[in-house]
Amino acid sequence: MTDLAIADWHDFFVTIAQVSATLAGLLFVGITISLNYLLHAGGYLSRAFTALFLQFETLLLGLFGLLPHQPAWALGIEFIVSGLAVLVGISLYANNFPEDEHSHVLGSMWPRRMRRALAAGGTLLPVASGISLIAGWPGGLYFLMPAQVCCLYLSIGNAWVFAVEIPRRKDAAERGEV
């Protein structure tokens, strides 16, 4: 892939960098709203870390893609390192702060599996994109679109849980409506 072909993705990289920075801010607001609940539930801490670091990864991918005249192989290495580093980080964090009885909002088996699958897609698809860039395969950047869908879905869902669902359910429990 040539520098010119990567330059064709300029608007995509600008967009994902802007969206990720904005969504990270929204996540911080949601985390702040529910901070007392999150601090008492390891699973919520893990979800917050995952959502924030997926947006950090997206920001990095966008910024790396905007570097002018960067060779495709270098961009590929940056994508691989970013994806693997975030995957390792969120996996380690999830092992140290597992889901527990206190992180019950969307805490059953299927939502947990969905979150793991989305996190894997959000981190491993950029790795696949990086490998394809290094190999010179055309179209390798197209792996970034489903990666972004995974990251956005997971992060927006967690932002909703932190900003709305946790406080709503806590208020309902205090009123005896649960």
Q: What's the rounded Cα separation, in Å, for the pair 54 and 90?
A: 9
At 99-112, the pLDDT tens digits run: 777 666 666 788 88
**pLDDT at residue 95, rounded to an integer:** 87
In the chain, % of residues over pLDDT 70: 94
pLDDT of the residue at 97: 82
Q: What is the mean pLDDT of residues 151-172?
A: 86
* Confidence bin at 172 (pLDDT 50/70/90): confident
Alpha-carbon distance of 114 to 158, in angstroms, equals: 12
More confident of the two residues 139 and 170? 139
pTM value is: 0.88
